[in-house]
Structure 1
Amino acid sequence: MADTRAHILAGTRGPVAVREWQRHAPRYCALLVHGYGEHSGRYEGVAAVLTGHGAAVFAPDHAGHGKSAGERVLIEDFEDVVTDVHTVAELARSVHPGVPLVMVGHSMGGLVAARFAQRYGAELAALVLSGPVIGDWPLPRRLLALDEIPDTPISPGALSRDPAVGAAYAADPLVWHGPMKRPTVEAFAATLETVSQGGDIGGLPLLWLHGDDDRLVPLAGSRSGVAGLRGERLTEHIYPGARHEVFHETNKAEVLADLVRFLDGVFEE
């Protein structure tokens, strides 16, 4: 495994913790953007594959997540999270000037990454979205219609067919296991609309990865979002039977091979 280094950056809502998996003279930098309620440390496996492929990898804990500051899972404006991720991109460029940057966003991180591409797409060489919260995601509508948001945390079994993934998630003290908070749900609804109205990403290469048994972020809703976001260069892989976290699925070797093959195609052009 690559050597790691910790950074603390000034974020929009307080200090942001960043993991760096180091690589000498990297071919590219990869910025991993994690999902709701989790943290960057859950992406060790993805980082290992990417560093082995020649990347230096950077991954923040979003505000209110992991080791970063802020009330747990409270996000009042996802534009602030996008700005924080841009600060991490600036860190990557300062460590490795002139090296191309790839962004990989999962779930809520896919929403952040999609919005990043709309705001800063010229700074990216490629965009990868895994189970992205874009398009028609019905959960915010359902929750905001209730007087009180129920305390129903994410089911670990919805993440992967591998029971060890759910068990590790349930035992992880840096994962949020409580209810969603109304301002965060409102921010989700607002940013889904912002992204849907924000235009496509033009010539930026886009890889979309999704499990067809994803019960947290259903495939059909994300497909509508990808249709609006995509430019001229979409590659998609839909995995039969896979659940929400395709990078942690029982066929993760296939998923990661598809990721590496896509990146090879980007950098060999």
Structure 2
Amino acid sequence: MQYLEELLPASDDHEIPVKVWRPREPNSVLVISHGMAEHASRYAPLAEWLTERDVAVVAVEHRGHSDHCDDKDLGHYADSDGWNMVVTDLDDVVSYAKSLEPGRPVTLFGHSMGSFIAQSYAQRFGDRLDALVLSATNRINKPQLRVSKWMVDAIKAVRGPRHVSDLIEGMTFGAFNKQFKPNRTSHDWLSRDPVQVDEYLEDAYCGFGCTTQLWSDFIGGMMTIDPTRWRKDLPVHVMSGTDDPVGEMGKGIAKHIEAIRAAGVTVGSTRLFEGGRHELVNEINASEVWEHLLSCIARPA
């Protein structure tokens, strides 16, 4: 296996950090779009396992995330046009992956925040993908999102675009964790595996607060997602845990799958892992999850 770290030039003066795991003879490529307040290196165990099965892995570090980011910019996409920037960055990464492994099928895997970025990407650039895998995602509830964006934008107007709001954190991550009382930690909602939760809490580049501007960009970006505008023959695989609060404990996921099917888009597979929380690839049954993910990856005909 070969491991690489690259900095790709973006459309502005930003450099996009990517991490690459390459087997000797790859037959397919998986691009990973990570979640909010985490980073690509957390996927190294999965990536190494996939390389043993001839899958090359390319993981992007989204803007405002990882140790490549200046401390002042942690949790902040950009001062303006942030959603478009992270989606366009992802296109640069997919293009890089295709050039690195020419002719190999490319699957995009998006987790949580990264799943919504991946959906926006597929909506704009779906012809560049061979499959899309969405993990720990949720339905696009536009009435609820409008209310959330109004609240975020009101806080931003008063406190500024780089303010990190305890209220927003409490209404999102805090509310998720309350569903697992009595709580051992502030992030029990991530996984049933205490080792994984503790490693997340000890990681300086996990669990940080995000700015009002990022939240506004994120919610605004989610509101633009519309499966009716996706490529109809792009296989979409949806996976979640029955105990993931982001997916409304499976209820929101079911509605999103219905919306994808109603739009005429190809649903390759759906899988709800019983008892699974938010980070399926870091769950107590991670080996089962990894095997399922492997089955979703597009392979040569």
Q: TM-score, normalised by structure 2?
A: 0.80
Deviation track 1:99-130 (CA, whole Å, cap 9, x = no partner) reads 11111100000001111111111111111110
Q: Conserved in 1, the CA contact under 8 Å of 2:149 and 2:220?
A: no
1:106 aligns with 2:140: no
User: 1:102 & 1:91 partners in 2: Cα distance?
Assistant: 13
1:145 maps to amino acid: M
Q: Report the more deviating stretch, 135-144 or 93-102.
A: 135-144
Q: Conserved in 2, the CA contact under 8 Å of 1:134 and 1:195?
A: no
Residue 261 of structure 1: aligned partner: 295
Task: Decide whether aligned partners of structure 1 residues 35 and 12 sit closer, same or farther in structure 2, where only a CA change above 3 A counts.
Answer: farther
User: 1:143 & 1:41 partners in 2: Cα distance?
Assistant: 30
Instruction: Give aligned pairs, total.
Output: 265
1:170 maps to amino acid: L
Q: Which runs of 5+ in 2 are unaligned?
A: 156-164, 174-185
From 183, 200, 206, the equivalent of 1:175 is: 206
Task: Decide whether aligned partners of structure 1 residues 233 and 31 sit closer, same or farther in structure 2, where only a CA change above 3 A counts.
Answer: same
User: 1:238 & 1:223 partners in 2: Cα distance?
Assistant: 9
Q: Report the more deviating stretch, 132-141 or 169-178.
A: 132-141
1:64 aligns with 2:80: no
Q: Which runs of 4+ in 1 moved over 4 A?
A: 137-140
* Cα RMSD, aligned residues only: 2.3
- How far did 1:82 drift? 1.1
User: 2:134 & 2:95 partners in 1: Cα distance?
Assistant: 21
User: 1:11 & 1:60 partners in 2: Cα distance?
Assistant: 12
Task: Decide whether aligned partners of structure 1 residues 128 and 113 sit closer, same or farther in structure 2, where only a CA change above 3 A counts.
Answer: same
Q: Conserved in 2, the CA contact under 8 Å of 1:106 and 1:130?
A: yes
The structure with the larger Rg is 2
- How far did 1:200 drift? 3.3
Map of 1:17-166 to 2, 5 A cutoff? 17-69=17-69, 71-75=73-77, 76=80, 77-136=82-141, 141-142=147-148, 144-145=150-151, 148=155, 149-150=165-166, 152=169, 154=173, 155-166=186-197
1:6 aligns with 2:5: yes
Task: Decide whether aligned partners of structure 1 residues 122 and 142 sit closer, same or farther in structure 2, where only a CA change above 3 A counts.
Answer: closer
Structure 1 vs Structure 2: percent identity of aligned residues? 28
User: 1:134 & 1:192 partners in 2: Cα distance?
Assistant: 10
- How far did 1:143 drift? 7.1
From 238, 245, 249, the equivalent of 2:283 is: 249
Q: Counting helix residues as a fraction of each chain, which structure ranks higher? A: 2
Q: Which runs of 5+ in 1 are unaligned?
A: none
Q: TM-score, normalised by structure 1?
A: 0.89
Q: Secondary structure at the match of 1:105?
A: strand
Residue 232 of structure 1: aligned partner: 266
Residue 241 of structure 2: aligned partner: 211
Q: Conserved in 1, the CA contact under 8 Å of 2:135 and 2:238?
A: yes
1:201 aligns with 2:231: yes
